[in-house]
Each structure stands twice: as C-alpha cells, then as structure tokens.
Structure 1
C-alpha cells in the first residue's frame, strides 16, 4: 500500500512539474491585422510598417516582433493585408505596451486609418 501511495505521489508531482514547465514556455502573442482602402498611398503604409517595427527597440516589454504582407492564394483575408505579431511574456507586459506612449504614437500615426483592423491575442499552446 505504501508503494502505491509513493508511486501516486511521484506521478502527481511529476505532472505538476511538467505543467509548470509548459506554462513557463508559453508566450502571449498580440496579432494585429490591417487592411487598407484601395489607392492608399504606399508611403503612408510604409510609415506605419516602419513605426510598428521601431516599437520593438523602444518598448523593452516586446520579446519578439515580426510582420508580413498577405500572400495566401485562398482569398480568405477579408481585405486584411498586413499582419504584425508581437510577443510578450505576460498579460501585464501586453497591457503596459498598450498604454505606452510609443504605442500611442503609433496609433496616432494611423492616418489615413486602415480600412479594416483586427486584433487577436492568445497564449501559445502546443
């Protein structure tokens, strides 16, 4: 009986340690998708892309950044063309980013405003 209890405790503690390690490997992704009105000045779009990229160097809470332009052949992007993905270690870091003066300056730069905007945040899982 003692062996069964000991084995159960070992299995439970092993599972708990594994769950903690999985949580430590998770990161929070902040995905922003923009779609621009036809005829939007490419220079204005380039300014937004550059400003978004500069945030990674200005806001240390951002752990990773990448961006790209849609090239899917499925035609399911609903007019969204530009995708920006930022990685954070916590919701608190993401929340601090949202109110950071440099992020607010980026938002103010969105003139002309994108025709469409979608934002999705999620914790990574495997």
Structure 2
C-alpha cells in the first residue's frame, strides 16, 4: 500500500465555511475517484482531520488528509489523470497558504 499524505495551511483570511467546504470536497474524492477500467473507487482508505498535535511543531499546517492507494499505478493515475482529483486541485487557487505532500510505502526504509 502507498500512503499519500496531504497537508494544508489554509489562508487565515478564509471563512471557516469555505475551509469546511474545501475539506469536504477533498474527502468526497474517496467515492468520486473511479478507476479508469473498473469504474470503481480505487482509493483504499481515506482519513482526514484538523491538525491537533500539542507539540507545537506543525509549521502552520492546519489540516491533514491521508489516502491509501493499492499500487503505484493507482497513485499515478490519481495525481496526473483522474478528472475528479484534477478538478479539485483547480478549486484550491487562492485558498491555500502552504501545502506539503509526502508519500511512503509501509516498511520501505
């Protein structure tokens, strides 16, 4: 499994309703992103929430989204071709102060 972790710092001027709407849109991709041949959802799991670490080391990150993909090919399709994901990315203009994305395969060091 490939873990894909997306972290956002929303702009401070953004209305809380817009933050909530944007988060809900991203979470909805679990069901909206369909495999190009099976036409079934291919994101294996999706977890999301507001950053709440007490360590004070979040560097401004406010929200975290963790997706699991079953293969490199699924992740590549999601990142470069999936119309639902690419459409979502277009909605982020002007909303995000900072973003960070990291991926890992469990057990590979």
Q: TM-score, normalised by structure 1?
A: 0.75
* Structure 1 unaligned residues grouped into runs of 5+: 1-26
Paired residues of 1:36 and 1:115 also in contact (CA < 8 A)? yes
Provide the residue aligned with 1:87 in structure 2.
Answer: 68
**Consecutive aligned runs of 4 or more in structure 1 exceeding 6 Å deviation:** none
Distance in 2 between the 1:80 and 1:55 partners? 21
Superposed, which structure 2 residues align to 1:3-22 within 5 Å?
none
Where do 5+ consecutive residues of structure 2 fail to align? 34-40
Provide the residue aligned with 1:45 in structure 2: 19
Q: Which structure's residues are more often helix, by fraction?
A: 1
**In the alignment, what sits opposite 2:50?**
69
Partner in structure 1 of residue 83 of structure 2 = 101
Contact 1:61/1:97, CA 8 A, preserved across alignment = no
C-alpha root-mean-square deviation of aligned residues, in Å?
1.3
Secondary structure (helix, strand or coil) at the match of 2:43 reads coil
Cα pair 1:61 1:93 within 8 Å, conserved? yes
- Cα pair 2:14 2:95 within 8 Å, conserved: no
Measured after TM superposition, the shift of residue 123 of structure 1 is: 0.1
Question: What's the CA shift string for 1:55-111, capped at 9, x where partnerless?
Answer: 111121201001011111111000001000110011110011112000011111114
Q: TM-score, normalised by structure 2?
A: 0.86
Which residue number corresponds to residue 101 of structure 2? 119
How many residues align? The count is 100
